[in-house]
Amino acid sequence: MASLRPRQQTSTARSYGFVLAVAACFGLMCFLVGYSAGTRGPMPASTVDQPPGIGSPLGNMLGRLGRPLAPVGQLDHDPLESFMEVYEQLRANFYQPITEEDKTKLAYGAVRGMLRELGDPYTRFMDPKDYASFRQDTQGHFKGIGAELRLDLNLLRIVVNRVYSGNPAAKSGLQAGDWIVKVDDRATDDMSIDAVVALIRGEQGTNVTLTVYRPERPITALDPEVAKRIGADADEPRRDPAPFDPTKLLDIVITRDDVTVPIVESEMLPNQQGYIALNTFNEETYRQMAEAVAALQAQGMKGLILDVRQNPGGSLEEVIKVVSYFVETGPVVHIEAPRRPLEALQVQPRFDGHFGLPMVVMIDGMSASASEILAGALQDNRRATVVGEKSFGKGLVQTVLKLSDDSALVVTTSVYLTPNRRNINTRGIEPDIAVPWEIEARREALREADANKTPLIDWDIQVQAASQHLAELIAGTAKVGGPNPASIEPAPAAQATP
């Protein structure tokens, strides 16, 4: 028994030593945690995308010990926290109360500003009113003035792209090429195209005043002389709208009315050539086009000219239907998106029109987006000869995302490629047969033709060139794609001005 006593004393001593060691470690840990918290401030309750174990008190402490401590006053800040701080400071310190209406304006304004900093003019925000107006566009029937607007990416101005004859805008003197500077005295400098359209539309019988700048000649970039006068660099990419001469502004008062924008226009040209113009791609385009083709075939059509000049695009689903009407198999377009494999959107057989006649498709500098998908698909499949001018070059796909308050986010989600995987963004579709036509000369010819009721084939030099080539396709003396010269001379009839 005596021999066991010293061992019991040693064991007891070791137990006390272990307890003291644990207590010392715990005290040191508490000291380090307190020191770290006092130096860097409290840790968030939880974080995302961290390794397992981080987020617990011990894990937070180990995480702190694993990296250097920042000097006081040099904390890492999340910019979104700064945004909320600004909002709370406004609520606490602004000299007037922040109302519910103010909260909506501040929130929407912040979203628009955030999207603007992305540098992509196609990614935009639509408030509930803008979004409701946007949805009306898919039907082609609404109360308004009967004009098509576009955002000029060089000028950063809202420009009148087209004025539809017989509608209020045409009757009031609005012209293609006019810059919309104000709508009812509200400057459009910082507005999206959807916001401008929403302001212009309204109740039937009410008036809207458009303040417009009408350049003496078409302007596609900042005039160097104007830039010099305002102290700007004409070669530097602009983020502000292009300036204008304030002494040359026009106020045009337009009475809103029921407007029906023609989606599809058709007629039979000489020599049994069918002509169909697609003005946009919305939910009615395929159906109306198919009906127009059937009507022309009933009249004995021998070939078709499909005109998408001045067509800014529209629904991707609708253009796939249209291409499927003329092309039997294969991809209509490829979609290239980050973190996803290349996706081929195929021809849809249920929309096949069993149309085997020769074809020409017409494009110009304002044929964009869905129009370019159409032209690229018909060109790559050797289904039609492309005639006219190089297209706009918008090879980006936008997705409309409805938000919880009936507003919407339009966001660029992907790039599209033609069936042969050509990326035409900023490059455009090159015509097989180029027929250049200055925009002002075309507008003047259109004005005279409207005034004199001149048939299309007698004044439109690009239609004449398309008709000439289509006749050769019908006769079998030319192949799809044509001779592919740099340009061709217009037919003699183009020189006649009735």
Catalytic residues: 369, 380, 394
Q: How many Å apart are CA 471 and CA 357, to the nearest integer?
A: 12
Q: How many Å apart are CA 113 and CA 380, to the nearest integer?
A: 40
Question: Whose CA is closest to 321, among 302, 301, 344, 346?
Answer: 346
CA-based end-to-end distance of the chain:
134
Residue 110 DSSP one-character state: H
Compute CA distances 351 → 304, 324, 326, 341, whole Å: 18, 6, 9, 26
Burial bucket for residue 253 (CB in 10 Å: 0-12, 13-18, 19+)? exposed
Dump the DSSP string for 308-350: -TT---B-HHHHHHHHHHH--SSEEEEEE-TTS--EEEE--GG
Q: How many Å apart are CA 319 and CA 88, to the nearest integer?
A: 47
The total of other beta-carbon atoms located within 10 Å of residue 13's CB is 10
**How far does Cα 236 stand from its chain's mean position?**
23
Dump the DSSP string for 163-177: E-TTSHHHHHT--TT
